[in-house]
Structure 1
């Protein structure tokens, strides 16, 4: 079973290129970086962590694509992913170009972990109608896929419209789209339609959700997609449990910290689990 890592990278933590280089040297398979464009100060949405105050890394997040481009320059094998990016809040033509350029720098090593967001005020500043954010994220991903694959790409949707257009570079291989979120029929329908996997945060409740995800994939006429428990705090028992389910990759959470703290966590994970 492969092990990757994810960390909130900020202006106060270890830098993405340092983290990627050191993770690759220790044998980790992937590095995922989340995003928040900004956090409105006047915010009514409660923190998703359950804390009374939102941790500062949410407001200090680096742009994941820029950070992963720096990581691409100093690595050769490790998969470089967003985890999670919020496609509803991003202009899809520009984002498709940025991700294709990242793949050009790290051919076949880009993975796109996406989510639908939790912060109502943040989404509103991007003009995202909250109850339509899933539909908007879907269209943005589908439009990006069209730009990545078609020689003359065109898209006509509710939120995205462009006529036949040229856009290069094209990714070296299919960029996998991994959808995050709580299990349920809406999420699983999206995964079955346009996703390449499910990244359940922490991994709790995965076994109970597998039959529903498998049914959604079967109804869409496709094989079961991979499940990648994401942001997991590992224990030997937990990783053994995932391996027993046939899970092939788990992404471990590295607490946001400076270079020394991050490398100490990598060393501990490598010693205990690789």
Structure 2
């Protein structure tokens, strides 16, 4: 089992120390979420399935691939991922360039986690239609694959059209992994058909099973990774049950407060035999 660390659940002042500790302790990956901008109108921010705003407009926001480039310079082994990047909220040239740069400066450690997003406010502010964000993301994923691998690319699509361009340097990884987040039918189809893996919302062993069943019905035989946010992971004895479900990466949160995170990672690494 691989273990990831969700930096977004920490105060930003702790990100550097926690990422360095994760690298030294043998954690496989660290992950950053992102938003581009928050509107001050909270009527646009009610999180799906709730009646409360899912954001605070004054929350500090950082460009996730850019910040991960900073962490790449401080680490040597740990992989650097987004959970998730709103890839289609920019032109595919910008998002593809960001991850190619991250992969280059990290020596091939980038993981491109993408999602269509739930928060309408930032799409409205960027003047990009919220209603077609999923279809726009699907086209952007296909474009990024081509930009990262083909010598020259031209495109005529529903959302993006351009004459032939070169795109260099290519990522260090021959196949930079793209993982899709989200649990809607469209998000699961995107993961299964267009991506290299899926990133879940927070789950327990019991709550993850229906999503994995739905995903399995859509998948083909291509290599595929399953990443689960398992913040309630209780002990190493629980891990084999996750693995039996086909999960190969758990994003864990063994701390209660940001100031205790490094110490909690040390204890977790010892308990789970990391090195």
TM-score normalised to structure 1 length: 0.87
| Pairs within 5 Å for 1:1-274 | 1-8=1-8, 12-44=11-43, 45-47=45-47, 50=50, 52=52, 54=54, 56=56, 59-173=59-173, 174-184=175-185, 186-204=186-204, 205-218=207-220, 222-223=221-222, 225-230=224-229, 232-236=231-235, 238-253=238-253, 258=258, 260-274=259-273
- Alpha-carbon distance change, 51 to 115 in structure 1, aligned in 2, over 3 angstroms: same
Identify if the C-alpha distance between structure 1 residues 55 and 129 changes in structure 2 by more than 3 Å, giving closer, same or farther.
closer
User: Secondary structure in 1 aligned to 2:83?
Assistant: strand
Where does the alignment leave 5 or more consecutive residues of structure 1 unmatched? none
Q: How far has the Cα of 1:217 moved from its partner? A: 1.9
Encode CA deviations 1:182-210: one digit per residue, 9 max, x unaligned.
153x2232122211111111134332333
Confirm or deny: 8 A CA contact 2:6 2:32 kept in the other structure. yes
Distance 1:147 1:26, change over 3 A: same
Output the CA distance in 2 between the equivalents of 1:54 and 1:203: 18
> Could you report, residue by residue, the CA deviation over 1:144-163 in whole angstroms, capped at 9, with x for unpaired residues?
22111110022221111121
Question: How has the CA–CA distance of structure 1 residues 19 and 78 changed in structure 2, closer, same or farther, with 3 Å as cutoff?
Answer: same
**Pairwise CA RMSD:** 2.6
The structure-2 alpha-carbon separation of the partners of 1:132 and 1:183, relative to structure 1 and needing over 3 Å to count, comes to closer
Deviation at 1:138, TM superposition (A): 1.2
Deviation at 1:113, TM superposition (A): 0.8
Q: Secondary structure at the match of 1:39?
A: coil
2-structure distance, mates of 1:57, 1:146: 36
CA contact (8 A) 2:39 2:57 kept: no
Give, in angstroms, the shift of residue 238 of structure 1.
4.6
| C-alpha contact (below 8 Å) 2:196/2:223 kept by paired residues | no
The offset of 1:31, in angstroms, is 0.5
Q: Which runs of 5+ in 2 are unaligned?
A: none
Q: 2:140, 2:2 → 1: CA distance? A: 30
Contact 1:231 1:252 survives alignment (8 Å): yes
Q: Distance in 1 between matches of 2:131 and 2:254?
A: 32
| Alpha-carbon distance in 1 for matches of 2:172, 2:242 | 31
Q: Quote the offset at 1:171 in angstroms.
A: 0.8
> Quick one: distance in 1 between partners of 2:256 and 2:32?
11
Structure 1 range deviating more: 43-52 or 130-139: 43-52
